[in-house]
Amino acid sequence: MAPTDETAQAVQQTPSSGTTPPTPPPAGDAVGQGGRMPRWLPRAMVLALALIAVFQLGSWAFHQLTGLLINILIAFFLALAIEPAVSWMASHGIRRGLATALVFLGATVVAAGFVTLLGSMLAGQIVRMVEGFPDYLDSVINWINTTFHTELRRVDIQEGLLHSDWLRKYVQNSATGVLDVSAQVLGGLFQMLTIALFSFYFAADGPRLRRALCSVLPPARQAEVLRAWEIAVNKTGGYLYSRGLMALISGVAHYVLLALLDVPYAPVLAVWVGLVSQFIPTIGTYLAGALPMLIAFTVNPWYALWVLIFVVIYQQFENYVLQPKLTSKTVDIHPAVAFGSVIAGTALLGALGALIAIPAIATLQAFLGAYVKRYDVTDDPRVHGHRGRGAGTVVRGVRRLRLRRRGERPDSERTDADTRTDTGRGPGSEDGSP
């Protein structure tokens, strides 16, 4: 009897082992478990938001404190520069605070005297130029009238200038810019006061600062930090004192020339040339010599030419004789590197960055030189700038090619048999007999 559909379904629904099959979970529970948020996701979101907030807060704080950090960096290098003088005074029984105050007082007196003398010189020259301006204007007008056959008058030019829109706008802009200039001057004075204060504390409490820094480092790291500190002090102080000595020599030499030419304000101009020429490398001498040339030109145009010739000759003497002897043991860096470091320091920190750029690069160079392993240089002529062996090899190769085209052998490829054949000598005797 064939099974029907109902009996087949009954057989399929009856379990073979006699146990009840597991019932599948409801569809609603599956959807609930798949759509539930993992437990770690809220914590991760909160942590990510906290990290973003901390980063934004740190970025804002760093942006607000950039000026203060730059002032501290400049003050640190100034403290390194005066550290040898302060240490020398402290070794002779003077307290570090008093020694630092004496160094700062001396530097302040010198800077104030230089600015006062330079300001008086510039003020005198400006007054002289203003008083002589009508005469200069009359001479220019006479030359124009004579050359171009015009009829210009000084009165007409003065009235045109007084009633011009350009002068009115210039006066208005100058009046509105007075407050900006005053704010910049006050900001500069506050910045100088901040730098001086931090420099004083760094120099006066130098040993305490080193002890505080080394107390949080292991002994091996302490030795490296103290070594780096000593290198920085030597390079920065050596740079300052060597440049000061070269500025003194340059100032005396230019003072002698200006005094012989009877140029006014010779002492102030000599100090100007000495300072600018030494603390702005490579082109500082030519920049510093522009002002004495201008003052000498007002006395006699030929005097300006003599000043230019002397500036060029002294620059060569300084570069090839004086500077190698004075800076070989203090700051020995390439002139191109020094000039590039000054440009970079000026772009980053302004005028003060130009002053600390060279000692910073010299310190970095000395510190890397103490840890970078160096090897003996080969005696290859190319190292000394002579023509290398490669050029001779190329010439010999061309010569061999030409000889082969002619059917001849080069000398380097000739065998002993070829040599004996050319000379008519046999292998058994020296006179060529077999």
Contact 141, 153 (CB under 8 A): yes
Higher pLDDT, 412 or 367: 367
CA distance 229 to 394: 53
Higher pLDDT, 269 or 49: 49
- Using one digit for the tens of pLDDT, what is the confidence trace for 350-407? 766 777 777 778 777 777 766 666 777 777 777 666 665 544 554 565 566 666 666 6
Looking at residue 419, its pLDDT comes to 46
Contact 152, 145 (CB under 8 A): yes
**How distant, in Å, are the alpha carbons of 224, 337, 408, 409 from that of 316?**
40, 19, 56, 55
Looking at residue 270, its pLDDT comes to 86
CA angle 215, 220, 225 (to 5 degrees): 65
- pTM exceeds cut of 0.85: no
Cβ-proximal residues to 295 (8 Å cutoff; 6+ apart), any chain: 125, 263, 264, 265, 269
Looking at residue 421, its pLDDT comes to 47
- Using one digit for the tens of pLDDT, what is the confidence trace for 161-181? 666 677 667 666 665 665 666
- Greatest mean pLDDT among 17-26, 209-218, 329-338: 209-218
Higher pLDDT, 211 or 169: 211
Looking at residue 2, its pLDDT comes to 47
Looking at residue 331, its pLDDT comes to 65
Higher pLDDT, 228 or 253: 253
Tokens in use for 224?
Answer: 């490296």
Looking at residue 148, its pLDDT comes to 84
- Using one digit for the tens of pLDDT, what is the confidence trace for 324-359? 777 666 666 776 777 777 788 777 777 667 777 777
Looking at residue 296, its pLDDT comes to 86
The mean of the pLDDT values for the chain is: 75
For residue 7, name the pLDDT band (cuts at 50, 70, 90).
very low
Tokens in use for 297?
Answer: 């030109």
Higher pLDDT, 5 or 230: 230
Higher pLDDT, 133 or 90: 90
In a 13 Å sphere around the CA of 261, the CA atoms on its Cβ side amount to 29
Higher pLDDT, 268 or 331: 268
Alpha-carbon torsion 388, 390, 394, 395, what sign?
positive
At residue 234, does pLDDT exceed 90?
A: no
At residue 17, does pLDDT exceed 60?
A: no
- Using one digit for the tens of pLDDT, what is the confidence trace for 33-51? 556 778 888 888 999 999 9
For residue 408, name the pLDDT band (cuts at 50, 70, 90).
low
- Rounded to a whole number of angstroms, the distance between the first and last alpha carbons of the chain is 127
Question: In the predicted model, what is the mean pLDDT of residues 120-131?
Answer: 72
Looking at residue 53, its pLDDT comes to 94
- Residue % of the chain over a pLDDT of 70: 70
- Using one digit for the tens of pLDDT, what is the confidence trace for 236-248? 777 777 888 888 8
Higher pLDDT, 19 or 372: 372
Looking at residue 396, its pLDDT comes to 61
Contact 279, 355 (CB under 8 A): yes
Tokens in use for 135?
Answer: 């005469």
Question: In the predicted model, what is the mean pLDDT of residues 64-83?
Answer: 86
CA distance 272 to 113: 12
At residue 427, does pLDDT exceed 50?
A: no
